[in-house]
Amino acid sequence: MQLRDASKDTTHTSRLWAYLGAGQRLNHKGQCVEHPPSVVFEFTRTRQGIHPQRFLKDYRGYLQIDAYSGYDALLKSGDIVAVGCMAHTRRHFFEVARKDPNPQGLAAQALAWIAKLYEIESHIKDHPPDKKLLTRQTQSRPVLEQFHGWLVGHAPGIPARSKLGQAFGYALRQWETLARYTEDGILMPDNNLIESAIRPVAVGRRSWLFPGAERGGHVTATMYSLIGTCRLNGVEPYAWLCDALKRLHNHPVTKLAKLLPFNWKRQSITQT
C-alpha cells in the first residue's frame, strides 16, 4: 500500500503483513479442538524480513508461506517449519497452460497431477486431523511421489528461463515444503484462506488513496484485522462494529476478548 510522505509531498510503498490462524488443532492431550479463525495485519514501512522475524519471535510450529526469501531467517533455528502452497505452484502452470494451444501440453499435465491431489482433499475436508493424516499418507503421498518423478523427468528438456521452465523450477525447489501438508492432519495444501483475507487490500488499492501518515497505516492494519476476522467467522462487519462500539465504553477491560468477532457471534446467539 502507498504511504504519504508529507516531507516530500509524495508517496512510497509500505507493507501490510497478514498472519492467519484457523481450523483444527491438537491440544496437549492429543485431542482435536477447534480454533476460531482470525487474521492479524501488521503495517510496516518496508518489506524487510526483520518484520516477520520480530512478529513471530516466540512462535513455534508450522508456518505456511510462499517462496519469499525474507522468511528464510525464520526457518534457520528449526523452531518454525515451513509449509508450501500448492495453489502458488498451480498458478505458475496455469499461466502457461492457458496460452498453450496444445491441451495435452506439459503445463496441462501438471495441472492434472495437482487436480488429483485436490480431489483427495475434497473427500476429507470435514474429517478430523487423524483421519486426514491417514488418507494423505495412503493416498496423497503416492500421487506426490509420482508427480515429483514426472517433474524430475521432464525438467531437463525445458529451457530454465521459459515460463514453463520457471514453473517446473518453482515446484522442484519448493517440493519439500509443498509435500509437508501430508505430514500432519491439521495442515492445508495451500494458503488460500490468507489469499482471501488479503483480497480486500488489493481491491482497495484501486478504490481509495493511501494513509496520510504512519499512524494511519497502523490504524488501517487494525481495521483490516477486525473486519477480516469478522468475515472469517461469518459475522457481518458493520453490525459487529456498531454493537462493539456501543458497548465498549462500559465494558470491563478484563473481558474485552468477549467483544472479538468470533466471541461476539456466540455471545449474540446466547442473548437471543
Report the pLDDT value the prediction gives residue 270, as an integer from 0 to 100.
Answer: 44
- Domain residues for 145? 87-177
> What's this model's pTM, rounded to 2 decimal places?
0.83
- Residue 173 lies inside a defined structural domain of this protein: yes
- Residue 144 lies inside a defined structural domain of this protein: yes
- Residue 52 lies inside a defined structural domain of this protein: no
Q: Is the pLDDT of residue 221 over 90?
A: yes
- Residue 189 lies inside a defined structural domain of this protein: no
Q: Is the pLDDT of residue 266 over 90?
A: no
- Residue 209 lies inside a defined structural domain of this protein: no
- The torsion region of residue 116 among left (phi > 0), alpha (psi -120 to 50) and beta comes to alpha
The mean pLDDT value for 174-186 works out to: 95
User: What whole-number distance in Å separates Cα of residue 218 and Cα of residue 16?
Assistant: 9
Question: Sign (positive/negative) of CA torsion 31, 137, 148, 126?
Answer: negative
- Residue 238 lies inside a defined structural domain of this protein: no
- Residue 236 lies inside a defined structural domain of this protein: no
User: What whole-number distance in Å separates Cα of residue 129 and Cα of residue 188?
Assistant: 11
Say how many domains are in the chain: 1
- Residue 117 lies inside a defined structural domain of this protein: yes
